[in-house]
Amino acid sequence: MSSNTSLEPSALSLNDLPWQIEYNNDRCTLCGQCTAVCPVKAIELVTFQKRIIKTSVKPGAEQSNQYDQFYGIRQKTSVANACIGCAMCTLACPNDAIRPVKNPGLDRMKFHINQKGVPRRRGGRRNASGSVLDRIKFTRISMLTDPALDAGRHEFEMRTLLGRVLSPSENMKRLKTKGWIPPVREIYPLIIGGMSFGALSPTMWEGLQMGVAYLNEEMGMPVRVCTGEGGCPPRLLRSRFLKYVILQIASGYFGWDEIIHAIPHMKEDPCAIEIKYGQGAKPGDGGLLMWHKVNKLIAAIRGVPPGVSLPSPPTHQTQYSIEESVAKMILSMSMAWGFRVPVYPKISASSTSLAVLNNLTRNDYASGLAIDGEDGGTGAAYSVSMDHMGHPIASCIRDNYLNLTKIGMQNEVPIFAGGGIGKNGNIAANAAALIMLGASGVQIGKYVMQAAAGCVGTEEDRCNVCNLGICPKGITSQDPRLYRRLDPEDVAQRIVDLFVSFDTELKKIVAPLGRSTSLPIGMSDALGIDDKAIADRLSIKYVV
Amino acid sequence: MCRLFALTSKDPVSPMLAIKALDVMKEGHDGSGVGLLLQDLGEPFEEMKDAPILSGIFSEEGIRRLDLFMMDKGFLTKYKISLKPPKQGAKGIPKRDLYLIRAYELPEGWENLDPEELADRLLKIRLKIREMGEEKKDMIVFSFWPDTIMIKEIGDPMQLADYLGLDRKELHARVIMAQGRQNTNYAINLYACHPFFIKGYCTMTNGENTAFIPIKDFLSSRDIPGYSGYQSDSEVFAHILHYSMEELDLGIDAYKHVITPLQQQDLEAHPDHEFLSHLKKSCRPLIIDGPNCVIGTLPDHSMFMVQDRKKLRPGVVGGKPGLYGFSSEICGLDAVLPDRDKSKDIQPMHLDTAIVSPERQEVDICRQTQALNLPL
Ligand code: SF4
Ligand code: SF4
């Protein structure tokens, strides 16, 4: 800072930034890789000048005052270029000369990140690493009357149902009278939740679909993937792989035209239709696909002009109320496929989700309810929504399940849980806990990005530039230079690895509990937690 | 783990046969209790097949309250067996005032009720007495049903049989089910003791039913009188049986399809594939997941045995025309029916339901892969 410039309020020092670059000049070869790869241009190659004074007390000795120039990396301190800690520079550096370090104190950037009057928007997570799900333990281990099963050798049937399941007596009645019986799919309980075409890069999307097809056709695991809002590539719609896909329609109706036009040409019915009313990360808020990512292809599939931001309304203006809309949309979507495809809404977890559920129980065409908790939903949103809004998933699922139990409809309207499953990497344990609390299955999104594509985002506000189209891993970018970094084959391979190992872990949890032939939905007697208040709230055991 | 023994016989036999089998299988149960069901009774009950019999344990005060209650309802005692325990108690057996087995005359006008209505009323009376008893801890009632006696108590089976004098002619029966109990996961409660009975359907089980909570949640939310209690992991099996036969109108050949449905591949190959996949989906919460052997009887006095899918508790059925035994261990069967043709013994596999019909001439094996007698 030279003395003749004023200090602006937003003049930040390195110390004020959330991530700081640790740079070792001795090891740097000045190859320029780090600056080239940095997605936010946080670092630049600069010339440093150093004064070297050589003096001596000896009389007559030569005194010199030299200026030396050398080159090195400097971190920018402007808000727009603040380092996001993605560590791509580290990855690119041949000499391990550079790495980002998390500022251990409270960074000041929080106060300045609303430049030009626009509050911060980002992709990513809630950035709170605590998780009730991680604290739940499985406490009922069969021992005396019932030896634990062998997870490696027993046969297991870890399947769940998606669709409106009639009560046994009602089902029997309709079979006898040849009445209409709602469609029900038997699927794997771990679902890849909605991440839209447009939000994800083409290579990521392709990798996901390939992995899912492989799991179904080679591994015999009926894994399903949801498209998210924004439609679905026409070729997939007309392919036999559509049966592995849950098509999502959201309040913005993006991409819906494409789907409707493809209906007459569909060789297979989709697995289901998910109507998205809310996302856990930003309840009451719509989707936000920013203009950076709306290229020609995305625009074409979504049926919009390229280069414009595409915010979905929280609820579309054509929808008078959620009750009306749920009823209308579920019915019209069911009709579109001749009542052969399950249709269900996805809402963000909130204290009003019970109302939606109650509404669904009275609707024969409602095939389930997906509830997304506060830790979920990757798409772009305002930071304030992600950090401060939403409802934890555990108690929301529990309330809804117990409510269904009270009216004798448990599992008839299957509940799917999303939001923060595996946020700290414990995916099978988190999923099993939610299932035992009452979920029929779980949805994961961010975990898939992390495990299958190497997304570097963490609960420490690392990276999180998914919205800007500059994803350093090529997962959430529409820029070919970036998404070419991601090989779809590798993503597919990792998806398969992820599901197969999840399957092993799930068996390792349920086998000692003595369950193998049916998913332990609602087996809450197996759960315990070391917090009295949580235990009471979830109606599980308090164990210390 | 509990030991189970059941008999179905053309002629009434002594319950001591079953007790003897339990005694032989002693290593497997810890003598913490015994449960006994007697049906299709011999003399003197032969003459009063329609008279409901109340079985339970009562204190002096309880008996007085019971009498008032029953009188008020219009029931008159027709016949009773007095099981008066000896003055000096026995070690390990709680001191009780009275084990009640009392047959009643139906109140006026009840003879003409249709059987369903009558069954409902009898059930409601049993539940009412149970409720009254739980309130004051003076009455425990196990069954209130025609031609049915149930005895349950804490203690070693053989000791208890001596103590109560079960070796008496009046207790001879054609259908006998007995369970020697292994201490359970829960506190000892007489209502948790097998066999479990509801409206003529009765089952007993060994092993642990790990799917207990979801099944219990399902059944108790059906709003069907009598689907309550649930002091034991296995009480639900009797109710599932009742549910599938009475509420869903299925046959005994479908019971196994409800509690242990076929896996996908086998299901697809089944002649009743469509029906069964609907059944599997809608009855999914009723799938049992513990290693269990279930032995039961139906209102028509058929007796059956099924295993869970994993078949970790292999039971055995054997005997000769006129007398068949169902046992959780072969040694139990050997003790009671040593002269049977052992080569004809049947250990039901994970797809089988072994059934002995009331004619007691042979053991029918009904495989889950065979076509069903459908109610459609
Ligand atoms: S960590 Fe990422 S954002 Fe920070 S300087 Fe390195 S490449 Fe740039
Ligand atoms: S790596 Fe890509 S997807 Fe992951 S947080 Fe960064 S920008 Fe988002």
The pLDDT tens digits for B276-322 are 999 999 999 999 887 688 999 999 999 999 988 876 678 899 999 99
- The candidate with the shortest Cα–Cα distance to A449, out of A243, A196, A255, is A196
Which residue's alpha carbon is at the smallest distance from atom 7 of ligand 1?
Answer: A38
Q: Which residue has the higher pLDDT, B374 or B249?
A: B249
pLDDT tens digits, A345-365: 999 999 989 999 999 999 999
Task: Could you list the beta-strand ranges (E) of B125-263.
Answer: 139-146, 148-153, 173-180, 196-198, 201-206
Q: How far is A170 from chain B (nearest CA, A)?
A: 9
Give the pLDDT band of residue A376 (cuts 50, 70, 90).
confident
* Residue A224, pLDDT above cutoff 80: yes
At B85, list the tokens.
């325990």
Complex prediction ipTM: 0.90
Question: What is the percentage of chain A residues whose pLDDT exceeds 90?
Answer: 67
Give the pLDDT band of residue A20 (cuts 50, 70, 90).
very high
Q: What are phi and psi of B99, to 5 degrees?
A: -95, 115
Q: Quick one: B231 exposed, middle or buried, by C-beta within 10 A (0-12, 13-18, 19+)?
A: middle
pLDDT tens digits, A407-442: 999 999 999 999 999 999 999 999 999 999 999 999
* Residue A121, pLDDT above cutoff 60: yes
Mean pLDDT value of segment B200-204: 93
- Cα–Cα distances in Å, from B244 out to A484, B251, B253, B255, B258? 58, 8, 10, 7, 8
Q: Do A171 and B282 touch (CB under 8 A)?
A: yes
Q: Which residues of B touch A517 (CB under 8 A)?
A: 260, 263, 287, 289, 309-310
- Confidence (pLDDT) at A155: 82
- Cα–Cα distances in Å, from A35 out to A43, A113, A382? 6, 23, 28
- Confidence (pLDDT) at A203: 95
A-contacting residues in B 198-227 (Cβ below 8 Å): 206-208, 210-214, 217-218, 221-223
Q: What is the pTM of this model?
A: 0.93
- Confidence (pLDDT) at A318: 65
Residues A247/A274, Cβ–Cβ less than 8 Å: yes
- Confidence (pLDDT) at A1: 54
Q: Which of B1, B275, B375 shows the shortest C-beta gap to A145?
A: B1
B268 at interface of A, judged by CB pairs closer than 8 A: no
Q: Do A408 and B213 touch (CB under 8 A)?
A: no
Mean pLDDT value of segment A443-467: 93
Distance from C-alpha of A386 to C-alpha of A375, rounded to nearest angstrom: 8
- Top residue of A142, A145, A407 to mutate, by most chain B CBs within 10 Å, is A145
Distance from C-alpha of A15 to C-alpha of A77, rounded to nearest angstrom: 9
B290 at interface of A, judged by CB pairs closer than 8 A: yes
Mean pLDDT value of segment A15-33: 94
Q: Which of A118-122, A124-128, B338-342 has the lowest mean pLDDT?
A: A124-128
Residues B361/B40, Cβ–Cβ less than 8 Å: no
Give the distance (Å) from ligand 1 centre to CA of residue A457: 13
Note the ligand closest to the C-alpha atom of A380.
2
Task: Could you list the beta-strand ranges (E) of A228-306.
Answer: 245-250, 272-276, 288-289
- Top residue of B182, B194, B217 to mutate, by most chain A CBs within 10 Å, is B217
Q: Which of A194-203, A259-268, A425-434 has the lowest mean pLDDT?
A: A194-203
Question: How many beta-carbon contacts under 8 Å exist across A and B?
Answer: 120
Q: Which residues of A touch B350 (CB under 8 A)?
A: none
Q: 3-class DSSP state for residue A301?
A: helix
pLDDT tens digits, A49-67: 999 998 888 888 888 889 9
Q: How far is A362 from chain B (nearest CA, A)?
A: 17
- Top residue of A146, A164, A367, A411 to mutate, by most chain B CBs within 10 Å, is A146
- Number of helical (H) and strand (E) elements in chain B, helices listed first: 10, 16
Q: Report the residue of chain B nearest A527, measured CA to CA.
A: B213
Distance from C-alpha of B358 to C-alpha of B10, rounded to nearest angstrom: 8
- The candidate with the shortest Cα–Cα distance to A371, out of A345, A408, A404, is A345
pLDDT tens digits, A86-100: 999 999 999 999 999
Ligand 2: atom nearest CA of A454 is 1
Give the pLDDT band of residue A516 (cuts 50, 70, 90).
confident
Pairing of strands A415-418, A310-311: unpaired
Question: Does ligand 1 lie within 6 Å of residue A38's CB atom?
Answer: yes
- Confidence (pLDDT) at A29: 93
- Confidence (pLDDT) at B31: 67
Q: How far is B115 from chain A (nearest CA, A)?
A: 21
Ligand 2: atom nearest CA of A463 is 6
- Confidence (pLDDT) at A7: 80
DSSP state of A399: H
Q: Starting from the edge strand earliest in sequence, which strands make up the sheet with B139-146, in order?
A: B76-83, B98-105, B52-58, B139-146
Most confident of B104-113, B187-196, B211-220: B211-220
For residue A98, how many C-alpha atoms fall within 13 Å in the half-sphere facing its CB? 33
- Confidence (pLDDT) at B28: 64
Distance from C-alpha of B143 to C-alpha of B198, rounded to nearest angstrom: 8
Which residue's alpha carbon is at the smallest distance from atom 8 of ligand 1?
Answer: A38
Distance from C-alpha of A467 to C-alpha of B307, rounded to nearest angstrom: 56
Q: Which of A125-129, A199-203, A271-275, A505-509 has the lowest mean pLDDT?
A: A125-129
* Residue A68, pLDDT above cutoff 80: yes
- The candidate with the shortest Cα–Cα distance to B294, out of B235, B359, B371, B336, is B235
- Confidence (pLDDT) at B369: 92
Mean pLDDT value of segment A304-318: 77
* Residue A145, pLDDT above cutoff 60: no
Give the pLDDT band of residue A283 (cuts 50, 70, 90).
confident
H helix or E strand, kind and range, residue B354: strand B352-356
- Confidence (pLDDT) at B185: 55
- Confidence (pLDDT) at B259: 94
Give the pLDDT band of residue A293 (cuts 50, 70, 90).
confident
Q: Which of A196-205, A301-310, B7-16, B251-260 has the lowest mean pLDDT?
A: A301-310
Q: Which residue has the higher pLDDT, A197 or B144?
A: B144
- The candidate with the shortest Cα–Cα distance to B318, out of B348, B291, B294, B296, is B348
Distance from C-alpha of A432 to C-alpha of A509, rounded to nearest angstrom: 8
Distance from C-alpha of A288 to C-alpha of A280, rounded to nearest angstrom: 14
Note the ligand closest to the C-alpha atom of A465.
2
Mean pLDDT value of segment A243-250: 94
- The candidate with the shortest Cα–Cα distance to A422, out of A412, A433, A436, A411, is A433
* Residue A532, pLDDT above cutoff 90: yes
B29 at interface of A, judged by CB pairs closer than 8 A: no
Give the distance (Å) from ligand 2 centre to CA of residue A460: 13
